[in-house]
């Protein structure tokens, strides 16, 4: 198999980025799109030259893709993935994997039973400053990673929440800043720090009275390696300030990335305005490298479109995983950890106690 027959489910904002990549990548034979809104499906069909469907079952049967990319609202990810797996079709799913652990478990079980691949989008793992940090941590350059800090001070306005009826409501989104904007950095934090032992958390809605869900959340994490973590994630600062993940090691050295500056971009609506950069690098003997890294990252930002580049890289990895029968870069098991992290913060806030890992779905 040289190319993989591909289809897109969910022709909305981020769907545009996926469709463009599915059309361009040499690994992809892009055959069809599906949206329950027939006008959106038709518009994508005309724009990308593929067949249009309004029902996932019809798409799977008639277009016979080998892989689908799922870009529906988060609580609807599971149904599409399970339907695809039952038809023997692999799925790359937008973040978060799902809004509940029960959905994650059902997706993992369906994919395991069918022998299909399941991947979760976390394209910031492919940012060069992030890969530099991962390589340095894995090489032992900060010793044992013992303190991980994720902080986001960003902004969403009423128009953002009004842009789609599913946003900002418990039933149709499953949560707020934790579920929608934070999965990228929650994933990086656990990727850098390792397995989680327990989480305590709080959430609040500080200045978005027109949504039901949280605009701000805090968490304290104890990792299995004895290290600690902290999360402050908020959409309440106008204008948005920054989003960072910093990792400190037991030899005293630190590495960090500013993944986003200003209000985090809205895929399919705005462009990434500032390059992701390493903003902290105190590894002994490497202190002088930070300006060089930053210059490289600024130069790259001028020649690639970061809004589409890293998505395309992750889709390419997933299609190669399907073609070569190997695990994708970010697996369903990885995606479930992020859902467990925000589930634990909600549970801790509700039950006023630390929540132990591994975390099971509640009935």
Applying CB under 6 A, the residues found at the interface with ligand NAD are: 9-15, 34-37, 40, 56, 71-74, 76, 94-95, 121, 123, 164, 180, 267-268
Element (H, E) at 316: helix 306-324
DSSP string for 256-312: EEEEEESSPP-TTTS---S--EEEEE--TT-TTHHHHHHHHHHHHHHHS-HHHHHHH
Burial of 46 (0-12, 13-18, 19+ CB in 10 A): exposed
Return the number of the residue (290 or 321) whose C-beta is nearest ligand NAD.
Answer: 321
Return the number of the residue (62 or 164) whose C-beta is nearest ligand NAD.
Answer: 164
Provide the minimum distance between the beta carbon of 19 and ligand NAD in the complex, in angstroms, as a whole number. Answer: 11
Provide the minimum distance between the beta carbon of 69 and ligand NAD in the complex, in angstroms, as a whole number. Answer: 10
Provide the minimum distance between the beta carbon of 13 and ligand NAD in the complex, in angstroms, as a whole number. Answer: 4
Beta 216-223 vs 51-53: how paired, if at all?
unpaired
Provide the minimum distance between the beta carbon of 196 and ligand NAD in the complex, in angstroms, as a whole number. Answer: 22
Q: Is 161 helix (H, G, I), strand (E, B) or coil?
A: helix
> What's the token pair of residue 327?
């695990």
Return the number of the residue (19 or 280) whose C-beta is nearest ligand NAD.
Answer: 19
Nearest residue relative to ligand NAD (C-beta)? 12
Return the number of the residue (18 or 248) whose C-beta is nearest ligand NAD.
Answer: 18
CA diameter of the chain: 59
Provide the minimum distance between the beta carbon of 35 and ligand NAD in the complex, in angstroms, as a whole number. Answer: 4
Q: How many residues does the chain have?
A: 363
Return the number of the residue (152 or 283) whose C-beta is nearest ligand NAD.
Answer: 152
Q: Is 80 helix (H, G, I), strand (E, B) or coil?
A: helix
């Amino acid at each position: 198999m040289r190319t993989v027959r591909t289809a897109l489910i969910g022709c909305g904002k981020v769907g545009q980025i996926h469709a463009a990549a599915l059309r361009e990548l040499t690994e992809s034979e892009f055959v069809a799109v599906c949206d329950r809104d027939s006008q959106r499906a038709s518009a994508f069909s005309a724009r990308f030259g593929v067949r249009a469907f309004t029902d996932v079952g019809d798409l799977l049967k008639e277009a016979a893709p080998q892989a689908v990319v799922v870009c529906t609202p988060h609580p609807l990810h599971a149904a599409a993935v399970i339907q695809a797996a039952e038809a023997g079709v692999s799925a790359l799913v937008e973040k978060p994997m799902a809004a509940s652990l029960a959905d994650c478990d059902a997706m993992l079980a369906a994919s395991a039973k069918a022998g299909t691949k399941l991947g979760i989008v976390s394209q910031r793992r492919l940012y060069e400053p992030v890969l530099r940090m991962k390589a340095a941590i894995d090489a032992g350059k900060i010793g044992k990673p013992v303190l991980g800090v994720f902080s986001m001070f960003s902004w969403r306005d009423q128009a953002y929440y009004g842009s789609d009826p599913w946003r900002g409501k418990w039933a149709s989104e499953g949560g707020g800043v934790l579920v929608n904007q934070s999965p990228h950095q929650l994933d990086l934090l656990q990727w850098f720090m390792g397995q989680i032992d327990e989480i305590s958390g709080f959430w609040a809605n500080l200045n978005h009275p027109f949504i039901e869900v949280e605009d701000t959340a805090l968490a304290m994490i104890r990792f299995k390696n004895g290290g600690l973590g902290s999360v402050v994630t908020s959409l309440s600062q106008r204008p948005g300030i920054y989003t960072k993940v910093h990792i400190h090691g037991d030899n005293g050295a630190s590495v960090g990335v500013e993944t986003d500056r200003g209000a985090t971009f809205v895929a399919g609506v705005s462009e990434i305005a500032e390059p992701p950069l390493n903003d902290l690098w105190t590894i002994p003997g490497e202190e002088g490298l930070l300006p060089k890294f930053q210059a490289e990252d600024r130069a790259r930002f001028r020649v690639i479109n970061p809004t589409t580049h890293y998505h395309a890289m992750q889709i390419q990895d997933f299609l190669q995983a399907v073609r070569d029968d190997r695990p994708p870069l970010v697996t369903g098991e990885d995606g479930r950890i992020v859902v467990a992290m925000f589930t634990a913060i909600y549970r801790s806030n509700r039950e006023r106690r630390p929540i132990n890992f591994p975390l099971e779905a509640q009935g």
